[in-house]
Amino acid sequence: MSDKDLLQMFKVVAERVDKKSFADITRESVITDLGVDSLSMMQIVGEMETELDLQIPDEDLVEIVTVGDLCAKIENRMGA
């Protein structure tokens, strides 16, 4: 899955979870600056894990600050 596909997936899932538009998301977007709180973030990660059939360890989740950080964690799990 390409980086662009992961960004698009994050955007779609985040819009579904938070019920608002995330039109200008980039890898550098800081998740809290997007207005995504920790509960919504857990829902977003959970849905992405389900769709991609992978699991991101809880200890890795605390390191996620930007959308790119999440994409990198997913890419690492997909490559593992």
Residues above pLDDT 90, as percent of the chain: 89
Arithmetic mean of pLDDT, 66-75: 95
Give the count of domains, the chain: 1
The pairs formed by 15-24 with CB atoms below 8 angstroms and a separation of 24 or more are: 16/47, 17/43, 17/44, 17/47
Is 24 assigned a catalytic role? no
Residue 67 has pLDDT above 90, yes or no: yes
| Per-residue confidence (pLDDT) for residue 38, from 0 to 100 | 92
- The domain spanning residue 43 has which CATH number? 1.10.1200.10
Residue 12 neighbours by CB under 8 Å, 6+ apart? none
Q: Which domain holds residue 57?
A: 3-79
| Per-residue confidence (pLDDT) for residue 4, from 0 to 100 | 82
| Per-residue confidence (pLDDT) for residue 79, from 0 to 100 | 82
Q: Of residues 33, 37, 58, 69, which has the active-site annotation?
A: 37
Residue 34 — very low, low, confident or very high, per pLDDT cuts 50/70/90? Answer: very high
